[in-house]
Structure 1
Amino acid sequence: MTQYTQKVNETTLKMPVALLQVGMFVCRLDRPWLGTPFLMQGFLIDNRETLQSVRALCSHVFVDPNKSLIQLRSPRERRRSRRETPEPPTLSPTVDRDMARLGLREVLPTYTRTLKGVKQALREVGRGHPLNPERLAGQVDECINALIDNIPAMTWLSRVKSHDDYTYEHAMHVSLLCMVFGIHCGWPRHEVRQAGLAGLLFDLGKLRIPKALLGKPTPLAETEWQLFREHPKWTRYLLEKSGFEQDVVMACYYHHERPDGRGYPVRKLGTQVPLAARLIHILDAFDAMISYRPYAQQRTVYEAIRVLYHGRNSQFDAALVDQFIELMGVYPMGTLVELSSGEVAVVIGQNHDARLLPKVAIIRDRNKNPVAEHVVNLKQLRDAEGKARFRVKSMLLDGSYGVYMQEYTRHLVLDASPA
């Protein structure tokens, strides 16, 4: 397959689906019409959904320029145009890095304030003081506003881990993911707020569990396990005492229930469990698996998602798991990866029409030595046959080859700060 359009006759151009655009008229496919979702033998691509459907089905199609709504050029015209006006390079590190930095710089203050609020709230509860629902709801609202403006940057921050503040960061990250999920699914704002609050507070009752038990590196004895399973009851007590909405309280209380009825504290089944509780159960497990904990092996994002997928219907709500996987994408932003070239990179952007070929910032060479950061869009790097030159070989754990997302994020934000 050639990378450019080919003129078949006076009225038809053979075109790779990668070059298709909204406004083009498709007169033939690369296969029989029968058995395809296109009922009419010839149609206008009038929206992105149709465009994506064609790209998913075919490798090339035939386009009628006369019936298209946009101007099409012959291969000779394209070559002449390229000589006169060179195409922009596939690498644009300055633009891409500035976009990533500015997004992070804008949302980082909100993230930091909310994380500080979580720490303060949990410490107050530890001293025997009630929580302030209005203050926490205000901080969650601030996060929602930031998410609406910049979901990728806030999602990026949920990838940032440290070894010192797991309890607080875990609550913050689960809350962020709850809000991202709710916004993605079009929930009403008050439901997104409730899920965000529950994501902050679902493990509040663990403050009543001995720290030695929470951080124990070996399996819990039966008596210890029974004590540990009391924490949802303590959470419910503390939240009701502080005057939180009942929907928030119940989302926290039931977040360890399972679809198969083998959860706790009351062994509820499936949809008997509130939606927000089922979501928190998934996000709690996901963030825990990709975090450093002294008593459990850290997993990559891919490994964690695989655990969620295999636990569908038994441990986790299947529909919510599927929606979460769709939301996160194959390679979420802020994920550390190794490329097929051997280079190490951070995922900084998605290509929704090429999910396996994200935008990445390369920060280690093939020998795993530090290099000057440069951004590439893997989707745009093609060989003469139009095939991707590089792909993601594997996901890496945070800290691999000396790359920590906490330090890398600080580097991005500092570089974005005005002089």
Structure 2
Amino acid sequence: MLKKVRVFDLQIGMYVVDAGLSWMDHPYLYAEEGPVTSEEHIGRIRSEGFAEAFIETEKSRQGRQDVRVYDRAEVERALAEALLETAGSRSNKSVPLADELAAAHAAHAGSLTSLREAMDAVASGTSPDCQACQDASREVAQSVARNRDALVCLGMLSESGGYQVLHGVGVSVLAAAFGDYLGLDRRQVGELALAGLLHDVGKALTPRDVLEKQGRLSDEEYARVKRHPVESCSALSAASLPQHLLRAIAEHHERQDGSGYPRGIKGAQQSFFGRILAMVDVFAALTQDRPYRARILPDKALSVLFAMRGREFETSLLERFIKCLGVYPCGSLVRLTSGDHAVVSESNPHAPLRPKVTVVFDQDFKPIHPAVLDLSGKEGPAPAKPTEVAALVDHRPQGVNVRDHLAG
């Protein structure tokens, strides 16, 4: 499994993993993937100013190159031990996924348009139209109340619109879905969606060459990037947003251990909404293509978050987020232990590793007659041989249009 360690704790033979985190948010994270080969290697890492690294414990112990990054058994055990309180496991499938997709698409499109216009306004030095953003966020809240999976999968499958706008909408959708899962009321879910939508509007003032830089940021560039939470709040100051939303926006890069910015607050000093945005922001960034780094698949992204639990992120809140989303979120393409390929059609908060899937391709990606399979075994006839998810697969190289297999 993944483990985050201090550079001073690195040892020869440890296997460093590139977790996919942003240079802008983690400038002191060493991410050159491969084994630590010598004391000189460790000395070079230290001398270049790096402070932390992610290591793969299985590869480190055995030197193997074929170990999956995500340790399913470890996460499943942790989730089984986590609390299953009523407020943290609200079901919300009142409308079938296929029936909610059209409304979810409209809510997603409205969010894209309103955020793009807001960021254009900030870039030009004028006040953004927060009313349009509020209207779009209410639509998001209404959609996730009917079926969380519809908007979540559309958000994760969207690839056009520009990273900053797609990222803002992605955070908005995920924050709203998680808020609904936690049992927040419709107004609070809409507020979370709005805070997520607007959390990065200050980046409209950050130079593009800094935002899209391929390599490590200089100290001056990093200092410039760290201004964007405050600049987001300043840009929204005339919009009469509730103070707790401005606070959440200001805190979305803070961390529970005090390692975040801009103020370096820790623990209970970070608001509840701020804690949600901080966690969702990292997951959304990891699973979207960025100008300087390709996305990673959701299971690896969750393994990165899981390795940050108890330090940057509150353990109980993170475990609930994983339960809400599922290790294999709705819309994911997976390979089953049978060899067939399926699209995840419904997440399972009570068994995150066992979603409901629609089998649509054989092992060679040849289309087969669709068959719905509940991997938890709670619905439908039990299969002759137990079937599980073997791996998550990137749908893009296979030319698979996942949306075609969600409409039913």
Same fold (TM over 0.5): yes
Aligned: 1:211 with 2:208: yes
Going from structure 1 to structure 2, the CA distance change for 1:381 and 1:166 (only over 3 Å counts) comes to farther
| Partner residue in 1 for 2:341 | 344
CA contact 1:349–1:358 (8 Å) conserved in 2: yes
Q: Relative to structure 2, which stretch is displaced further, 275-284 or 327-336?
A: 327-336
CA distance in 1, matches of 2:254, 2:399: 38
| Partner residue in 2 for 1:391 | 388
Match of 2:197 among 197, 200, 217: 200
Q: Given residue 156 of structure 2, which amino acid in structure 1 is its aligned partner?
A: R
Q: Alpha-carbon deviation of 1:356? A: 3.9
Q: Given residue 233 of structure 2, which amino acid in structure 1 is its aligned partner?
A: R
CA distance in 2, matches of 1:265, 1:274: 14
Match of 1:246 among 237, 243, 248: 243
CA contact 2:212–2:291 (8 Å) conserved in 1: yes
Match of 2:319 among 317, 322, 332: 322
Determine what percentage of the aligned residue pairs are the same residue: 29
Unaligned residue ranges in structure 2 (runs of 5+): 1-79, 81-94
| Partner residue in 2 for 1:143 | 140
Going from structure 1 to structure 2, the CA distance change for 1:367 and 1:334 (only over 3 Å counts) comes to same
After superposition, give the CA deviation of every residue in 1:102-161 in whole Å (9 maximum; x if it has no partner): 221232222222222222222222222212333322221122122212222122222213
CA contact 1:101–1:412 (8 Å) conserved in 2: no
After superposition, give the CA deviation of every residue in 1:31-82 in whole Å (9 maximum; x if it has no partner): xxxxxxxxxxxxxxxxxxxxxxxxx9xxxxxxxxxxxxxxxxxxxxxxxxxx
Match of 1:408 among 394, 398, 402: 402
CA distance in 2, matches of 1:175, 1:273: 19
CA contact 1:103–1:150 (8 Å) conserved in 2: yes
CA distance in 2, matches of 1:281, 1:166: 18
Q: Alpha-carbon deviation of 1:374? A: 4.2
Q: Alpha-carbon deviation of 1:321? A: 0.6
Larger Rg: 1
CA contact 2:343–2:405 (8 Å) conserved in 1: no
Going from structure 1 to structure 2, the CA distance change for 1:119 and 1:164 (only over 3 Å counts) comes to closer
Q: Alpha-carbon deviation of 1:358? A: 2.8
Q: Alpha-carbon deviation of 1:337? A: 0.8
SS of alignment partner, residue 145 of structure 1: helix
| Partner residue in 2 for 1:334 | 331
Q: What aligned pairs does 1:3-402 form with structure 2 within 5 A after superposition?
A: 99-162=96-159, 164-350=161-347, 355-371=352-368, 373-378=370-375, 379=377, 380=380, 382=382, 387-388=385-386, 390-402=387-399
| Partner residue in 1 for 2:23 | none
Going from structure 1 to structure 2, the CA distance change for 1:153 and 1:130 (only over 3 Å counts) comes to same
After superposition, give the CA deviation of every residue in 1:331-379 in whole Å (9 maximum; x if it has no partner): 2211111111222221002456765443222333212344454433443
Q: Alpha-carbon deviation of 1:274? A: 1.3
Q: Given residue 231 of structure 1, which amino acid in structure 2 is its aligned partner?
A: H
Unaligned residue ranges in structure 1 (runs of 5+): 1-55, 57-97
TM-score, normalization: structure 2? Answer: 0.70
Q: Given residue 212 of structure 1, which amino acid in structure 2 is its aligned partner?
A: D
SS of alignment partner, residue 184 of structure 2: coil
CA distance in 2, matches of 1:350, 1:100: 11
Q: Alpha-carbon deviation of 1:393? A: 0.4
Cα RMSD for the two superposed structures: 2.4
CA contact 1:163–1:292 (8 Å) conserved in 2: no
TM-score, normalization: structure 1? Answer: 0.69
SS of alignment partner, residue 159 of structure 1: helix
Q: Given residue 232 of structure 2, which amino acid in structure 1 is its aligned partner?
A: T
Q: Relative to structure 2, which stretch is displaced further, 99-108 or 224-233?
A: 99-108
CA distance in 1, matches of 2:283, 2:104: 23
CA contact 2:336–2:391 (8 Å) conserved in 1: yes
CA distance in 2, matches of 1:287, 1:351: 20
CA contact 1:100–1:412 (8 Å) conserved in 2: no
After superposition, give the CA deviation of every residue in 1:267-323 in whole Å (9 maximum; x if it has no partner): 111110111111111001001111122323422211111111110122222222111
CA contact 2:118–2:130 (8 Å) conserved in 1: no
SS of alignment partner, residue 302 of structure 2: helix
Going from structure 1 to structure 2, the CA distance change for 1:313 and 1:104 (only over 3 Å counts) comes to same
SS of alignment partner, residue 140 of structure 1: helix
CA distance in 2, matches of 1:396, 1:348: 15
CA distance in 2, matches of 1:355, 1:279: 19
CA distance in 2, matches of 1:350, 1:131: 36
Going from structure 1 to structure 2, the CA distance change for 1:322 and 1:353 (only over 3 Å counts) comes to closer
Q: Relative to structure 2, which stretch is displaced further, 195-204 or 368-377?
A: 368-377
